[in-house]
Structure 1
Amino acid sequence: MSVLRPDRTSCATCGQTAGIFTCRGCSENFCLRHTNEHREGLEKQMKHIIHSHQQLKQNITGPTNDQSCQSLLQQIERWEQQSLAKIRQVANDTRDQVLGIVRQRTDDLKEQLSKLSQQLDKAQKDGSYFEDDIRNWLERLQKCQHLFQEQQNTQLYFERSSVPFISKISLHDITNDALPQSSSEGLYQRKLTKYTDDYSNSPENGEYSRGERSLRFQIEQYSRNSSILFGIISKNSLDNDNPHENPTFYGWGSKNLVYRGGDIQANYDGYKTDVQTDDILMLSIDCDRETISLKNERTQRTYVLQIDLSKCPFPWRPNVRFISN
């Protein structure tokens, strides 16, 4: 009569010797020899973790972290000094221009008044003057007054250029790259349906007075009769204004129309309403440079508008509308 014996479990390492010890961690079975080797392997991994932990702890509290911080602070210091140097240079040059122009005009005006004074004194003493002389002196005096008034009305012009005079500095913290982006910065994405869709009244819609913001929209269905509107309006504008007639609206619409604070023009700066179904359009708002841009990712065409703050003051609100019939 045969006797049934339980199946032997082989060693997970060699596969030949019986596995008489079971690891509570990995639940694998090992023979006596390979049990010791398995444990030694775990001890080596533990030592590696402890060493890495100690090394990281030293780096955090040691000079490496301080050096990294100091390097960033030094870069900021250099940027500050270079920016101040640019400002001082432009200020000094402009100051010299002001002094030179004012002195020259003042000297010229004094010379004309001196000649006129001599003629007036002589004519008054001699009594030899007539209507033509009076008329001539009056015209010359009025001309001098006009020149003086022009000098008083001289103003400085502060240029608003799309190219910044001083480069903007900001901290790029790569540890936050994977985090959800805030409502005031980054990228927002949404699909525009084939019926009426008004992002302007969406709860995600924000108000912007500084920084940059990008809004990405996908057109689910576009036809020849569709109507689109991409741009911004000032929060100060009336809510019941027709979006196409809003005096603060800057942006792009259907039929190649471009809106610039009450000025509507077709094909401005080469703009074409080249939109198709499934197109992705990105509206970017740059408050610091006072510009907005619209990019069609299919055609790679980008259109830019410079915003006149007197027509569309901060804060700005995105004005995006889509109607497909």
Structure 2
Amino acid sequence: MDEDVMLIHDQLQQSLNEQVKQPSLDLLMKEINGWEKKSIEKIQLVAQDNRQKLLDMIAELMDSVKRRLISIKEQLSRARDDDDFFESDINKWKEKLEALKKDLNIPKTVKIKCDDNMNSFIPQISVCEARMITERFGRFLGDIQIQENGQLITHGNSNAHAPVRGNGEYSSGQHLFRFKIENIGTSVNWILFAIVSKIAPIEQYSYKTATTYGWAGGNQVYLNGDCNNDFNGYKTDMETNHTLEFMIDCDRRKIRLKNEQTQSEYELDIDIIKCPFPWQISLDVYHSGTRLRLLQ
């Protein structure tokens, strides 16, 4: 009996060894290895394409900065030769130089987008450009003036809400804008930076308008026209001479507000059912003497 058991054991072990050594196993392993190699090659191709795209964008940015720098230099030379400039001109040139430095140090128009789709085995990565659109202040209500070819708004002598709309319409892509608060008018610091759907009418109390999403003074956050104090930890820190970046990201259905001086940064998700495309910039200033400039 023991010999029979041992014989059966040996036969089973031999069969098992033979199964492992079958050519079909090698073929299956080759198939898996081939899949791995092709997948890695595809990933490497996508990565290389994005590296080249990033280098091309940076080169284009450098050319743009160089052209703007030459333009400023020519303006300075003419002003010096003609002895025709004021302190306000000097301040504007300084601001332009500072903006150029920031463009070189932190190219805000270049973004890396990672589409982490839960249904995708490997997230897609891409380099995209958040273009700075030539926007202008457009329609308005109340005690306010639009000056300098639609780039400056100035509140009059009263304290009253004065809504302003941008002319641009945004339904896709990323769009970056910069606003400089030349004078905030009061220590209360109330300005609304928001978007609305184009279909929404312009009203005196624009912050209450349905489809309004954005940030204002007094730690106020507006979601579809409803005020939510301190939402997501938002704290108002805007002051005179602060520059604010306002990003409209239609693809991700978000907006972002960043203070360049304090580095505070906040994001809001936009419900496109409540705020359908196209979106427009919606501002509201309240206090007398407030001056807000749209930088290009």
Larger RCO, structures 1/2 (Cα 8 Å, 6+ apart)? 2
Is the radius of gyration larger for structure 1 or structure 2? 1
- Kindly indicate which of the two structures has a greater share of residues assigned to strand: 2
